[in-house]
Amino acid sequence: MASEIINPRQEALAADGPDPAFALHRGGKMAVAATVPLRDTADLSLAYTPGVAKVCSAIAEQPELVHDYTWKSQTVAVVTDGSAVLGLGDIGPEASLPVMEGKAILFKQFGGVDAVPIALDARDPDDIVETVVRLAPSFGGINLEDIAAPRCFEIERRLQERLDIPVFHDDQHGTAVVTLAALRNAARLTGRDLAELRAVISGAGAAGMAIAKILRGAGVGEVTVCDRGGVLSRKRTDLNAAKRELAELTDTTGRSGTLADAMAGADVFIGVSGGTVPEETVARMAPGAFVFAMANPDPEVHPEVAARHAAVVATGRSDFPNQINNVLAFPGIFAGALQVRAPRISEGMKLAAAEALAGVVADELSPSLVIPSPFDARVAPAVSAAVARAARAEGIARR
């Protein structure tokens, strides 16, 4: 009887016992694969020396050719320092690497974009900025991931000032785009305009700040942001520079007090802070309210509780309807930006992404469907096309 051929990977997975997470991660979740054949010396002479010299010389003479003859135009660096990993906090660069690998395969699976995880042993913004600037020639875009606030704001700003490729902090802008898309559809479902809504955001970190800015940019009537000290207002003297800037943007009515005070009569609650919001506080919101309780793994308001008082409920979890998941945004946004070689991802491109994402299910709306599934094949093409159109309309597309 012929001996059974054992798949080395299957054997390795079996060695990890019953835990499927460890089994799946053994050896990592991604690898580098060639896109051209190396069958013989003729192939080798084209892919490497001497053929490669012709291409290098052409790029040296005309640098823009790097987008046509290397992977640059379709590859993103996923960069972290491991200081604010979702649900885990400051766990360091090595421990963050499985998350960055996961992000990379999401780029490929959902957007057709190649991505390389880069976990940096650095915390000083100067060190991170200088390192990424030196790595940038190899990539068409930089996706910043799981970097703690407030230094994530400074790092993103400084990198975009120095680089002519998109720099995108997904914890901020990806979350904001998907949140706005869900809010647009919740408003459509209930026959309201964004301008009529009063929204309250719990959490003034990276996601909360970006959500507040995109909601204001989209025309939401009033946006109030709360941190542990209550409503961000111009009168507070305990705010850092980023929060002061946000207070200037959102303090349009002089509102003050606690989160519970702000939520009384509000149309929208958006939670990106963790903690628990009591049911009685949710009950004091306006009739037909929207509750987007997005903390993971425990939403600020349990969906069953929220549903007793709200017309639309969303969370950050995949086991409840209406998951606010960044994977709905970043693959398509980068695909669109890379397609037109945009040097940055503008506010207009983000708004276009949110509108396109909302439009995917605009004709199918129900309280349990205001945002598409990540596995809806329509998502990335719709988002990338909208982003590319927006870049062209703004005159920043380079092809």
Could you list the residues known to form a binding site, using ranges: 145-146, 171, 296, 325
- Domain at 307, CATH number: 3.40.50.720
Asked if residues 38 and 25 have their Cβ atoms less than 8 Å apart, the reply is no
Point out which residues pair with 222 in neighbouring strands: 198
Residue 19 within a domain: no
Task: For residue 48, indicate whether it is catalytic.
Answer: yes
Asked if residues 263 and 285 have their Cβ atoms less than 8 Å apart, the reply is yes
**Same domain? 276 vs 312:** yes
Q: Residue 246, CB half-sphere, CA atoms under 13 Å: how many? A: 29
Taking residues 247-266, what's their average pLDDT?
A: 96
- At position 91, the amino acid (one-letter code) is I
pLDDT at 3: 43
Could you list the residues known to form a binding site for a divalent metal cation, using ranges: 145-146, 171
CA–CA gap between residue 274 and residue 296 (Å, rounded): 7
Candidates 48, 54, 108, 235; catalytic one: 48
pLDDT at 15: 58
Which strands, in side-by-side order, build the sheet including 310-315?
230-231, 222-227, 198-202, 268-271, 289-293, 310-315
**Same domain? 107 vs 178:** no
**Same domain? 134 vs 183:** no
**Same domain? 292 vs 155:** no
3-state SS class at 312: strand
CA–CA gap between residue 105 and residue 393 (Å, rounded): 31
Q: Which domain holds residue 137?
A: 27-33+44-165
- Would you place residue 87 in the very low, low, confident or very high pLDDT band (cuts 50, 70, 90)? confident
Taking residues 312-333, what's their average pLDDT?
A: 96
Other CB atoms within a 10 A radius of the CB of residue 7 amount to 9
Q: Decide if pLDDT at 57 tops 90.
A: yes
Residue 4 within a domain: no
pLDDT at 11: 54
What are 234's two structure tokens? 């111009």
Round the average pLDDT of the chain to a whole number and report it.
Answer: 94
What are 320's two structure tokens? 């409840």
- Cis peptide bond N-terminal to 343, omega within 30: no
Candidates 72, 103, 213, 350; catalytic one: 103
pLDDT in tens, 127-140: 999 999 999 999 99
pLDDT at 17: 64
pLDDT in tens, 353-388: 999 999 999 999 999 999 999 999 999 999 999 999
Task: For residue 103, indicate whether it is catalytic.
Answer: yes
pLDDT in tens, 174-228: 999 999 999 999 999 999 999 999 999 999 999 999 999 999 999 999 999 999 9
What is the phi/psi pair of residue 137, to 5°? -55, -20
Which strands, in side-by-side order, build the sheet including 167-169?
114-119, 75-80, 141-144, 167-169
